[in-house]
Amino acid sequence: MTHQAKSAIVGLGISDVGKIYGRSATSFALQAIDRALEDSGLRKEQVDGLLLQNGIAQPGIGLQLQNQAGLKNLRLVNHMNAMGATPVSMVQYATMAIQNGMAGCVICVFADAPLQDPGARSSAAMNMARNRAQPTGWASLDAHIGQLNPNAGYAMAARRHMALYGTTSEQLGAIAVSTRAWAVNNPIAQFHTPITIEDHQASRFIAEPFHLLDCCLISNGAVAVIVTGKERVTDLKSKPAYVLAMAQGFTGNSRRAGDTHDYMTGATIARDTLYGQIGITPQDIDICELYDCYTYTTLVTLEDYGFCGKGEGGPFVEDGKLGPGGRLPTNTGGGELSAFYLWGMTPLSEGVIQARGSGGDRQVEKHDLILVTGNGGMLDYHASLILSQNAA
């Protein structure tokens, strides 16, 4: 195993997150940027790049965020969107820009504020419905069969996995239980009460086979990270999280019979690139911070990164190995299922925390190689990083 860091994440800013009403996505974004700068010790005039992603809330953040944040003389600015894969992708593009001399210090930020009143779930659903263009042609078939939101699409993917491999709801529940166990020790998690398999099974169905506890939260907030060249970390305030490897994968989805993207995701493409860059195998990974919009997303991602064979994800997770004290610590902050849902910034932020060794009561002792993934669409888009406390 040989590696040299490609870049370093030197600033992390997490805004107030959760069911926080009456604030705009821009307000959250500016708070996250200020906290990232404070965390790093950098000044605004030292920043020369800004990459951003907006969530579902409208109005959201846009290119005007540069002026709202007081950032001047930037050499790199872009508004990006590969859905939940974007935050990881932003770090990748910031790294490539730094390596090629286009920028030296890049802020990457995601912000969203779909919850606008105490009727949180209905408010978020209305925001999504109001802001989504009405599909036409082939894409309109989903609505005609009742597939109106991501719940149904991911539920169909999980059901296919169950039919092919015998995966059970209780095995998905084991993921929910282990993720919540991590959230107990995360001060900013939205849920801190432990749950059992019985609690999972008793929670109401959202879209079979998904119970409520199989599904991610809805959250308001923002996360910003600051990416620099690895040589700039010596005089900064916080420990860096080094970027050792990065990859993307897109299988394509023709929406026709024979597609396999729902159980053979883009991770199957990204995996070989990611591992090959630094000569590692799944057995070398210390911690997984995986995009977990649903319990099934965690399961299929573990399979596709080779932690177990295809179709073996259910038996692999049911013994609790993903939770505290387990041999494959996964989503150590509580993930999107129990901590907060800020798209791909949720796993990325926790990856940075673990790489720095600043996780407090949830810190994993061995944190040399951390897998961070982002997922978007209906398992359509995928991006990943290997983070570490070590530059080489």
Quote the tokens at residue 50: 């800004």
Query: What's the CA gap between 324 and 235, in Å, rounded?
Result: 34
Hey, what amino acid is at 317?
V
The CA-to-CA distance between both ends of the chain, in Å, stands at 10
Nearest 5°: the CA angle 109, 323, 188 is 40
Alpha helices in the chain (DSSP H): 25-40, 65-68, 86-99, 120-131, 141-144, 150-165, 169-183, 197-202, 267-278, 295-304, 313-317, 345-356
Query: What's the CA gap between 377 and 381, in Å, rounded?
Result: 6
Give the total residue count for the chain: 392
Query: What's the CA gap between 156 and 13, in Å, rounded?
Result: 36
**Could you identify the residue written with the tokens 């210390």?**
286
Determine if the peptide bond prior to 194 is cis (ω within 30°): no
Nearest 5°: the CA angle 166, 304, 323 is 75
Q: What is the CA radius of gyration of the chain?
A: 20
Q: What is the 3-state secondary structure (H, E, C) of 96-141?
A: HHHHCCCCCEEEEEEEECCCCCCCHHHHHHHHHHHHCCCCCHHHHH
291 an active-site residue?
yes
Give CA 193 to chain center in angstroms: 22
Hey, what amino acid is at 84?
G
**Could you identify the residue written with the tokens 């902050």?**
333
List 154, 294, 305, 341, catalytic entry: 341
CB-CB contact of 303 with 291 (8 Å): no
List 154, 291, 305, 381, catalytic entry: 291
Taking the CA of residue 306 as centre, how many other CA atoms within 13 Å lie in the half-sphere pointing to its CB?
Answer: 14
93 an active-site residue?
no
Q: Point out the residues that are catalytic.
A: 291, 341
